[in-house]
Amino acid sequence: MAKEDLIITDKNDDGIDRAGFIKCMAWAGTGILWMMNGGIMKSFGMSQMIDKTTGGLKKGLVIPALDFSFVQISDSHIGFNKPANPDVVGTLQAAVAKINAIPTAPSFILHTGDLSHLAQADEFDTLDQVLKSVKTEKVFYVPGEHDVLNGDNKQFLARYGKGTKGDGWYSFDSNGVHFIGLVNVVNTAEGGLGVIGNDQLEWLEDDLKGLSNSTPIVVFAHIPLWAIYPQWGWGTRDSAQALSYLKRFGSVTVLNGHIHQTMQKVEGNITFHTATSTAFPQPQPGTAPAPGPMKVPAEKLRGLLGLTSVNYLEHDHTLAITDTPLAI
Q: Contact residues for another protein (CB under 8 A)?
A: 82, 117-122, 145-146, 149-151, 186-192, 195, 197, 232-233, 288-293
- State in Å, rounded, how far the first CA of the chain is from the last one: 35
Q: Measured between alpha carbons, how far is 109 from 220 in angstroms, rounded to an integer? A: 11
CB of 77 vs another protein, minimal distance in Å: 10
Residue 304 DSSP SS3: coil
Cα–Cα distance, 88 to 121 (Å, whole number):
16
Nearer to another protein, 96 or 242 (CB): 242
Other beta carbons within 10 angstroms of residue 230's beta carbon come to 16
Buried b (16+ CB within 10 A) or exposed e, 7-34: eeeeeeeeebbeebbebbbbbbbbbbbb
Q: Exposed/middle/buried for 128, CB within 10 Å: 0-12, 13-18, 19+?
A: middle
Contact 133, 98 (CB under 8 A): no
Work out how close the CB of 126 gets to another protein at its nearest, in angstroms, rounded to a whole number. 12
Per DSSP bridges, beta strands 270-274 and 263-267 are: antiparallel
In the complex with another protein, which residue's Cβ is closer, 7 or 121?
121
Q: What is the dihedral of CA 259, 243, 251, 325, to 10 degrees?
A: 0
In 10 A of CB 309, how many CB atoms? 23
The CB-of-122 to another protein minimum distance in angstroms stands at 6
Q: Which residues pair with 155 in a beta bridge?
A: none
Pick between residue 25 and residue 196 the one whose CB is nearest to another protein: 196
In the complex with another protein, the residue whose CB is nearer, 238 or 323, is 238
Provide the Cα torsion 42, 46, 48, 52; round to 10°. Answer: 180
* CB of 201 vs another protein, minimal distance in Å: 13
Q: Which is nearer to another protein, 103 or 289 (CB)?
A: 289
Nearer to another protein, 217 or 223 (CB): 223
Q: Which is nearer to another protein, 117 or 317 (CB)?
A: 117
Q: How far is the CB of 205 from another protein (least distance, A)?
A: 19
CB 292 to another protein: min, Å: 4
| Least separation in angstroms between CB 241 and another protein | 15
